[in-house]
Amino acid sequence: MVRQFPKQPERPAVRTPRADHGSRVAALGTQPVGRLLLTSSTQTTLSVATYGIYALTNAWFVSRGVGPLALVGVNVVSPVLLVLGAVSTTVGVGGASMVSRSLGTGDLRRAARAAGNAFLAYWTVAIVFSVLGVLLLDPLLTLLGAAGRVRGYAHDYALILFAGAITATGFSSLVRAEGRLRFSTVLWMVPVVCQIVLDPLLIFGLGLGVRGAALGTVGGQAVSMGLSLWFFFVQRDRPYRITLADLRPHGPTLRELVALGSPSFLSGFGNSLVLSLVNNRLAGLGGPAAMSAYATCSRIGTFVLMPQLGISQGMQPLIGYNVGRGLTARADRIRTLALRATTVYGTAACLVLLIAAGPLAASFTDDPQVRRATVEAMRIIALSYPLTGVTSLLSAYFQATGRARPSYLISVGSIMGIRLPLLFVLSLFGTLWLWIGFPAAELVAATVALLVLRRGRPSGPHPRGAP
C-alpha cells in the first residue's frame, strides 16, 4: 500500500506513519459522508454523553449528599469554570481545524506545530487562571452573587478547581482531527469513570462534601491529561508527533489558532454571562427555590443535549479534512446531514422532558416548592431544545472551514445580541417570563444563524463532488 504521508523535511525524529494510519486519515475524504458522520458522531456523542452522565451524577451526589444549597453553590461557580472550558475549546477547536486541514493537504509539519502551540497556549492561560482565581476568589464570589451558606459551598468548590485548572483538558478535539475516534472516546470515558467512582467515595465515604466533588473532578481530569501527554508526545505510530520544537511560540500559528478558536471562547464566555445573569435575576425574583430549580435544569440540560455537541464535534474533522482536500461538496453534504440530525434529536429530547419532568425533579429533591419550580422551568426550557444545536453547529462549521468571521457573528451575536438582552428584558416581568426567554432566544438565534449560512455560501459550482 502506498503511504499517504511522506516524511517531513527537517524533522528526522518524526517517523513516516504506518500505512494503516494513513488509510484512516485518507478515509475522511473517500468514505460515504453519511456513514462517516454517523460513525464520527456516534463516537463523539458517546464521549461527551459520558461526561454528561458525570455532570448529572455529580449534581445528584452533591444535592443528596450535601444539600440543595450546596448544588446552588456549585452552580454559582459554573460561570467562571465555563470560561476555563471556553479557553480549552478555543485552542482545541482552532488547533483541530488547522490539524485536519493540514492533514488534508499533507503538511505534517504544520499539523504538529499547530497541536504543539495549542498545548502551549492552554497551559499558559491555565496557570494564569489558577493564580488569579485563587488570589481573587473572594471578590469573584461577591461578583457572582454568592452569599450566606451558598458562599461557603461555592468557595470550597471553586478553590480546588482553580488549583487544578491545568488538568482541565485532554485535547480530544486534536485527537479527532486525525481520525482517532476511539482514543478520543477513551480520553472522555476513562476520566469520567474515575470521577464517578471518586465522587461518592469522597462525598459520602470521607465526608468531604463539595470539596470531595471538586477533588473527584480534578482527579479525573488528571487522568485525561496523562493519557493525552502519552498520545501526543510518546506514541510514534501516528501521522505526526509533537516535539519540543513544536512547543515554541510561533506567531502565525498562534494568531490563526486564536482567530479560529475565539468564537468558541466568546461563546463560552457569553454562556457564562447568561448563567450569571439568570442566577442574579432569580436571586431577586424567585429566591432559593428558583435558583435550585435552575441548577437542576442546567445539569439535566447538559446531559440531555450532549448528543447535539457530539454531532457538532463529530462533524468538524470531516469538514476540515474535506475542505483541505478541496472536496467542498462533501463538506456541504456533511453539514446538511448534521443540521438534520441535531434538529431531530433536539425535538425528541424536548418531548421526553415534557413527559418526564416530574419524575426527574423528584429524583433530585424532596422539597415540594423546589420540585414544582423545577418542573415548570424544565418544561419551558425544553421547548428550546429542537433549535439549541443549530447555532453552535453552524459556528463550528465555519471554524472547521477556516472562516472565522461568520463564526464570530453567529456565536457572539447570538449571545450578546439576542440571548442576554432578551432574557434580561423578559425577566423584568417575572420568573415565568424568564423561563420563556430561553426558547424565544433560541428561535431568534437559530433564524439568524441560518441567514448567515445562506449569505456565506460560495457562489458557483463546487469544485469537486460528493459521493
> In the 8-state DSSP scheme, what is residue 384?
T
Position 403 in a domain: yes
Count of domains for the chain? 1
Burial of 392 (0-12, 13-18, 19+ CB in 10 A): buried
203 part of a folded domain? yes
User: Do 302 and 55 contact (CB within 8 A), yes or no?
Assistant: yes
Report if residue 27 sits inside a domain.
no
- Structure confidence by residue, pLDDT tens digits, 102-119: 887 778 888 888 888 888
Q: Residue 270 pLDDT > 50, yes or no?
A: yes
Helix residue spans in 234-285 (DSSP H):
251-285
Distance in angstroms (rounded) separating the CA atoms of residues 7 and 109: 10
Q: How confident is the model at residue 48 (pLDDT cuts 50, 70, 90)?
A: low
Dist. CA 423–CA 403, nearest whole Å: 29
Distance between CA 191 and CA 206 in Å, rounded? 21
Share of the chain above pLDDT 90, in %: 12
Question: What are the C-alpha distances in Å from 67 to residues 2, 60, 210?
Answer: 61, 9, 10
* Sequence letter at residue 294: Y
Span 292-330, pLDDT tens digits: 888 888 878 877 888 888 888 778 778 877 777 777 788
Is residue 462 pLDDT above 60, yes or no?
no
Q: Which domain holds residue 251?
A: 33-455
- Rounded mean pLDDT, 73-87: 75
**Mean pLDDT for all residues in the chain:** 79
Please report whether residue 25 resides in a domain: no
Who wins on pLDDT, 346 or 195?
346
- 441 pLDDT band (50/70/90 cuts)? very high
Distance CA 244, CA 246 (A): 5
Q: Identify which has the larger pLDDT, 97 or 345.
A: 345
pLDDT at 6: 38
pLDDT at site 384: 92
Mean pLDDT computed over 280-301: 82
| Cα–Cα nearest to 114, from 261, 235, 221 | 261
More confident residue, 166 or 2: 166
Per-residue cell: 179: 481520525
> DSSP code of 167?
G
pLDDT at 407 over 90: no
| Residue ranges in 205-250 assigned as alpha helix (H) | 209-233
Euclidean distance between the first and the last CA atom of the chain, given in angstroms as a whole number: 23
The Cα 109–Cα 104 span in angstroms is: 13
Per mean pLDDT, which of 167-171, 175-179, 341-345 is the most reliable? 341-345
Residue 89 belongs to a domain: yes
* Burial class, 398, CB count within 10 angstroms (exposed 0-12 / middle 13-18 / buried 19+): buried
What per-residue confidence (pLDDT) applies to 2? 36
Domain contains 24: no
Residue 232 has pLDDT above 50, yes or no: yes
Kindly state whether residue 331 falls inside one of the protein's structural domains. yes
> Does the residue 465 lie in any domain?
no
- Taking residue 424's Cβ as centre, other Cβ atoms within 10 Å add up to 16
Could you tell me which of 327, 309, 249 has the C-alpha nearest to residue 26? 327
The pLDDT tens digits for 116-157 are 888 888 888 888 888 988 888 888 888 777 777 778 888 888
Contacts for 22-31: CB closer than 8 Å, 24+ residues apart: 22/239, 24/178, 24/179, 24/180, 25/103, 25/178, 25/179, 25/239, 25/321, 27/179, 28/100, 28/104, 28/179, 28/317, 28/318, 28/321, 28/322, 29/104, 29/321, 29/322, 29/325, 29/327, 29/330, 30/467
Backbone angles phi, psi at 310, to 5 degrees: -60, -40
